[in-house]
Structure 1
Amino acid sequence: MASRSFTRELFANLPPPSECLAILVGCAETLMFGLAGLHDPVAWAKSFGVPIDAPKDTGTAENQKTKKALVQAIAARNIQHGALILTFACYTRDRTALGLAVGYGVITTLADYVIVRNSGVEDLAPGHAI
């Protein structure tokens, strides 16, 4: 009997399932898609579908630097989006704003899919449609 009341109290204090899912998405966006890209841009770019090739001469060194900067900008965008989702899910608890933020994230994900499919590694493009 005690375990049943503990379970009721536990679930009574949890947010609704949609907010729990949003918290998970926000954490994944911030950690896996944001901080990981800032930590190791070369490996993250390869998994993203736009690999950064090793420079072969001094002419491509500047190109390499530009590609790393672009990948880090994508990672920073993901951190910002994850923080926004976490703010709406945990702090304001505004479901309408949360739904809009997640919806815009879906649009960004589809844009990433199209970009990687047309300009990157086509085999990695379906990973962006998830």
Structure 2
Amino acid sequence: MKIGELSRRTGVPTRLLRYYEEQHLLHPDRTDNGYRDYPESAVQDVQQIRGLLDSGLTTQMIRAILPYLSGPDEILLPAEHLTPDTAALLQGHIDRIQARIECLARNRDRLRGYLAAVRPEGEEGAVRS
């Protein structure tokens, strides 16, 4: 399929599809006239790339794990293929996610405490847990 059709089927602009190719996330064939020719599997690949980007992974991380994705909920990365660099990259991302979770939890608790301190007892819209 041509890039325009892939764009229509995934909702991803052609400009981003070209960027994914530049980042070595997509690998279309080229026709004799130079047009990109994507396989049917590119639809799922683009959907996975979007989901991974939306979850905060970088294109570098996605490039490392994309060959091992078999679906949106499954990564089949054999231990012998997990390089120390890839492991460090993924661990760093996990650590950043955990730091954000802890920061959000602290902010949530502070806001709850503030609301509990300034709201009269039993007021509508009481603080939820």
- Normalising by the residue count of structure 1, what TM-score does the alignment of the two structures yield? 0.31
Question: Which is strand-richer, 1 or 2?
Answer: 2
- Normalising by the residue count of structure 2, what TM-score does the alignment of the two structures yield? 0.31
Question: Which is helix-richer, 1 or 2?
Answer: 1
Rg: which structure is higher? 2
